[in-house]
Amino acid sequence: MHDIAPFSGFGLGLRRTHYTDFLDGDVPVDFVEVISENYMVEGGMPLRLLEQIRAKHPVILHGVSMSIGSAHGLDADHLVRLKLLADRIDPLWVSDHLCWTRTSAHNSHDLLPLPLTQEAMDTVCENIDRAQTALGRAMLFENPSSYLTFPEDEMAEWEFLSAMARRTGCYLLLDVNNVYVSAQNHGFSAAEYVGGLPLDRVRQIHLAGHTPGEILIDTHDREVCDEVWALYADTIAKTGPVATMIERDDKIPPVGELLCELERARSLSASHQAVAA
């Protein structure tokens, strides 16, 4: 399986609202990330637009329905269509989530949690091996936000991710906001979570906003909060330069507002690299 070299750029999640900005202007980003399933088609306007944007910017394909934790295995048609898209776009990398989304007959379109057990680990690793073999490339997998735990859990999520990466050779997409949300919801240490990961396998970081409350909800509909920025700063001090992205999926502002957030990430990264030097 091919290695994924580190890439230290700063990017945005490409959403329909900003197509014109990227097509007609010069948006100062190092990459864009798109939802893979929106473009896994043989033709049509969205795919043509993506190809035009790909001519200007590197692209990351980020999936939401591979269902890597499915006990029914992976959808063969999904893998075929994803490989066709990847071959066409030549992305920086392809990623998805540590979750399950479907049964043999139904797709929930939600990122559903897994029990953190050895049995689930075996299923996940088997599915990752199949996906990476089908795509002919290593993948990244993202830690989801969580709102419940299972009484059957045998390990912490960071231990699960560490063993998963070691067994399959996959890489990690570390969503710092998701770490913070889950830590607050379940009462564990976000710093312990990050410190327990194989940080040399992290190739990308997501930053996003969440809805506060008694239970934090990962809504991606507002600015990154100060606590998540602080966790990001601590994280990049350990990982060194990795690709960082601002993710917004609802109440999407003008692209200039997102670029201001992205500049904060650049500044934090630069200051930590200066200290390290």
pTM, two decimal places: 0.95
Q: What is the pLDDT tens value at each position of the chain, 277 positions in all?
A: 679 999 999 999 999 999 999 999 899 999 999 999 999 988 889 999 999 999 999 999 999 999 999 998 999 999 999 999 999 999 999 999 999 886 655 565 678 899 999 999 999 999 999 999 999 999 999 999 999 999 999 999 999 999 999 999 999 999 999 999 999 999 999 999 999 999 999 999 999 999 999 999 999 999 999 999 999 999 999 998 899 999 999 999 999 999 999 999 999 998 877 565 5
Q: Residue 276 is encoded by which pair of tokens?
A: 């390290």
Q: Residue 156 is encoded by which pair of tokens?
A: 């912490």
Name the residue among 52, 61, 47, 44 with its Cα closest to residue 23: 52
SS3 95: strand
User: What percentage of the chain carries pLDDT values higher than 70?
Assistant: 95
Q: Look at the alpha carbons of 8, 4, 60, 235 in this order and tell me if their dihedral is positive or negative.
A: negative
Q: How far apart are CA 216 and CA 190, in angstroms?
A: 14
The pLDDT of residue 43? 83
Q: How far apart are the first and last CA of the chain?
A: 33
Cite the beta strand spans of 43-155 per DSSP E.
Answer: 59-62, 94-97, 100-102, 107-112, 140-142
Domains, the chain, in order of start with CATH, read 10-276 (3.20.20.150)
DSSP 248-271: --SS---HHHHHHHHHHHHHHHHH
The pLDDT of residue 194? 98
Q: Which residues of 242-260 are buried (b: 16+ CB within 10 A; e: fewer)?
A: bbbbbbbeeebeebeebbe
